[in-house]
């Protein structure tokens, strides 16, 4: 076993902790979702144990974040955009409203071009506007 954790594991662990705290979850709750103990979550967060790809995937799904989130801010890391796939996701029509059907794919694409903090702010803004609209009705 290495004497010092790998810097990448430390970075990913810090990002895991940050995402968990932003989600308002305890280590125990995250551990349950990942099928591990809270002590194992502590080891992941400290970088003492590295997260395997399946656990990283589970954590991202559970915390509702992208996999990129774990690596953002890591020296030398940049998001790679695959230009071999269409930029717009193919989505089934939401309803018969043609305007919404045209806007939604663009909004989703713009949303996912940003990091976790920007997406969280956008989500909060949309919720605030919807709440205000509901109260005004």
Note whether 66 and 112 are same-domain residues.
no
Does the residue 83 lie in any domain? Answer: no
Note whether 13 and 66 are same-domain residues.
yes
Range of the domain at 110: 98-136
Closest CA to 22 of 106, 120, 118, 123: 120
How many domains in the chain? Answer: 2
- C-alpha–C-alpha distance, residues 64 and 57, integer Å: 10
Burial (CB < 10 A; 0-12, 13-18, 19+), residue 60, is middle
Note whether 19 and 58 are same-domain residues.
yes
What CATH number is attached to the domain comprising 30?
1.10.260.40
Residue range 60-89, pLDDT digits in tens: 999 989 898 999 888 877 765 544 544 444
Does the residue 131 lie in any domain? Answer: yes
Residue range 24-69, pLDDT digits in tens: 889 999 999 999 999 999 999 999 999 999 999 999 999 989 898 9
The token pair that represents 105 in the structure block: 């794919």
């Amino acid at each position: 076993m290495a004497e010092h954790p790998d810097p990448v594991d430390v970075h990913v662990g810090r990002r895991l902790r940050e995402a968990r705290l932003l989600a308002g979850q305890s280590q125990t709750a995250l551990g349950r979702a990942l099928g591990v103990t809270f002590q194992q979550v502590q080891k992941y967060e400290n970088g003492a144990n590295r997260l395997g790809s399946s656990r990283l995937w589970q954590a991202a799904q559970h915390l509702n974040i992208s996999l990129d989130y774990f690596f953002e801010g890591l020296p030398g890391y940049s998001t790679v955009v695959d230009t071999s796939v269409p930029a717009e996701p193919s989505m089934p029509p939401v309803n018969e409203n043609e305007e919404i059907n045209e806007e939604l794919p663009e909004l989703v694409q713009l949303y996912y071009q940003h990091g976790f903090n920007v997406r969280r702010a956008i989500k909060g803004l949309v919720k605030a506007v919807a709440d205000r609209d509901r109260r005004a009705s």
